[in-house]
Amino acid sequence: SQQGEEDPQALSIQEGENATMNCSYKTSINNLQWYRQNSGRGLVHLILIRSNEREKHSGRLRVTLDTSKKSSSLLITASRAADTASYFCATDAGVRNNDMRFGAGTRLTVKP
Which residues contact another protein (rule: CB under 8 A)?
Answer: 1-2, 31, 33, 35, 40-43, 45, 48, 50, 88, 90, 97-105
**What is the rounded CA–CA span in Å between residue 32 and residue 11?**
21
Residues 112, 105: Cα–Cα separation, whole Å: 22
Shortest Cβ 44–another protein spacing (Å): 8
CB 53 within 8 A of CB 33: no
* Smallest distance, another protein to C-beta of residue 35, A: 8
Minimum CB separation of residue 78 from another protein in Å reads 25
Q: Which is nearer to another protein, 35 or 110 (CB)?
A: 35
Residues forming a β-bridge with 63: 56, 74
- Classify burial at 53, counting beta carbons within 10 Å of its beta carbon; exposed 0-12, middle 13-18, buried 19 or more: middle
Nearer to another protein, 15 or 37 (CB): 37
Report the residue number, 54 or 78, with the smaller CB distance to another protein. Answer: 54
